[in-house]
Amino acid sequence: MTEMVYGSLPIQAGDPVLPKWWRTIDKWTMSCILILFAVGLLLGFAASPPLAEKNGFAPFHYVQRQAFFGGLAMVAMLLTSMMTPQMVRRIATLGFLAAFVALLGLPFLGTDFGKGAVRWYSLGFASVQPSEFLKPVFVIVSAWLLAAAQEINGPPGRMWSFGLTIIIVTILALQPDFGQASLVLFGWGVMYFVAGAPMTLLVGMAGMVVAAGTFAYNNSEHFARRIDGFLTAEVDPRTQLGYATNAIQEGGFFGTGVGEGSVKWSLPDAHTDFIIAVAAEEYGLVLVLFIIALYSVIVLRSFFRLMKERDPFIRLAGTGLTAMFGVQAMINMGVAVRLLPAKGMTLPFVSYGGSSLIAGGVAVGMLLAFTRSRPQGEIGDILRGRVR
């Protein structure tokens, strides 16, 4: 009877965990993530030796660290992808509380590593950036609140999620970390739109963002300097954007050759924020387009699978995670080609960074858990039933 109503079941009750997981997981998305991580290691061999030499380490010190943290990220991704949506929600709620407390403690215990923004905890052997871990668990908690608001006699989840978003965005902006603040706001805005937000509210929010940006420009030297650098007609060739722009131009279609690039010797963040400039210079437009294609496959396949999902919580949480993942990649590459002002944001799974790698692994693991095939009718079945 179940098969007559819902169609053939992709899984059977009582199946072993691993075979069930393998049959239901989105293998295209998982494969693209693994390829991105491999590309990141490849580019790390080119981009990180100059920094290692400057800091007195072995030539491939940062590549080894990236491989270690990336390995942890892949393990975290696989383990998280095996969880049920209910388990993901429970763990994410606890993780959100921990990350939020860590974010509040940054002004007192955090450090800026000489970059002018207190975003990290120094552990001696490594550093932790709480905002990286806050993003995915915030999406889950917000999706839970928004989904609960759709239930009959449900809580005012939309108002609670909006208040939570404003608090987090304000804390991040005060660090200052306007890139992560805008990413959190965007992710929540996409979920709120999918949940059925009125257009007047979204327009009002856009006005608030413009007002907040104007206030930040007039009161934050850090923010104003980046906006001025973006708007100026002439790019100073001695700045990070200048070096990155020149590297992309020098790379052409096929690149200058493996190890032949020069931008890695000039850019202090060549292995993190501007890793795409290294890829463009040494491997050319071909590799850049390949990287863009990998991100596009992940985003499009995830959205396509989520469109068939009936559960509002899963649909909203998956949409928020996918949107945040795709926009972060777009922002990083947009900064490198000067389509966007400098944000200090990593390229997911490609840039060096322990916090971003592990948090990214957890986030994609959650997304894979939400997009697994489940024995349910598609949402289109409901719409067709209403028409009949």
Give the tens place of pLDDT for each residue, 41-54.
Answer: 999 988 888 888 88
Taking 80 as the threshold, does the pLDDT of residue 385 lie above it?
no
> Across residues 198-227, what is the average pLDDT?
77
Within-domain flag for 289 = yes
- Return the pLDDT at 376: 58
Among candidate residues 157, 129, 133, 127, the one with its CA nearest the CA of residue 145? 157
pLDDT of residue 74: 97
348: confidence class by pLDDT, cuts 50, 70, 90: very high
Please say if the pLDDT value at position 235 is more than 80: no
Residue at 3 is within a domain:
no
Decide if 270 contacts 50 (C-beta within 8 A): yes
Residues 6+ positions from 42 with CB-CB distance below 8 Å: none
- In this prediction, residues 299-325 reach a mean pLDDT of 95
For the ranges 1-15, 160-174, 212-226, which has the lowest average pLDDT?
1-15
Mean pLDDT of 157-170: 93
Does the residue 10 lie in any domain? Answer: no
Tokens of 220: 């934050």
Q: Is residue 348 part of a domain?
A: yes
Model confidence at 381, in pLDDT bands (50, 70, 90)?
Answer: low
Apex CA 342: angle with CA 228 and CA 161, to 5°?
A: 110
Q: 10 Å Cβ neighbour count for 14?
A: 6
Question: Is 11 domain-assigned?
Answer: no
Q: Which residue's entry shows tokens 């997009």? A: 371
Residue 2 falls inside a structural domain: no
Q: Is residue 375 part of a domain?
A: yes
Q: Which residue range forms the structural domain that includes residue 273?
A: 16-381
Residue 130 has pLDDT above 60, yes or no: yes
Q: Is residue 4 part of a domain?
A: no
The strand ranges marked E within the chain are 121-122, 127-128
pLDDT at residue number 222 = 67
What integer best gives the mean pLDDT of the chain?
86
d(CA 60, CA 48): 7
pLDDT at 76: 97
pLDDT digits (tens, 9 = 90+) for 247-300: 888 888 888 888 778 788 877 777 888 899 999 999 999 999 999 999 999 999
The pLDDT score that the predictor gives to residue 139 is 97
At residue 96, does pLDDT exceed 80? yes
Looking at the structure of the chain, the number of domains it has is 1
Percent of the chain with pLDDT over 70: 90
For residue 1, the model assigns a pLDDT of 38
Beta bridge partners of 127: 122
For residue range 99-114, list pLDDT tens digits in order.
Answer: 999 999 999 998 888 7
- Residue with more model confidence, 130 or 243: 130
Whether 370 contacts 143, CB under 8 Å: no
Q: What's the pTM? A: 0.89
The whole-number pLDDT of residue 15 equals 66
Whether the pLDDT of residue 4 is over 50: the answer is no
Q: Are the CB atoms for 40 and 313 separated by under 8 Å?
A: no
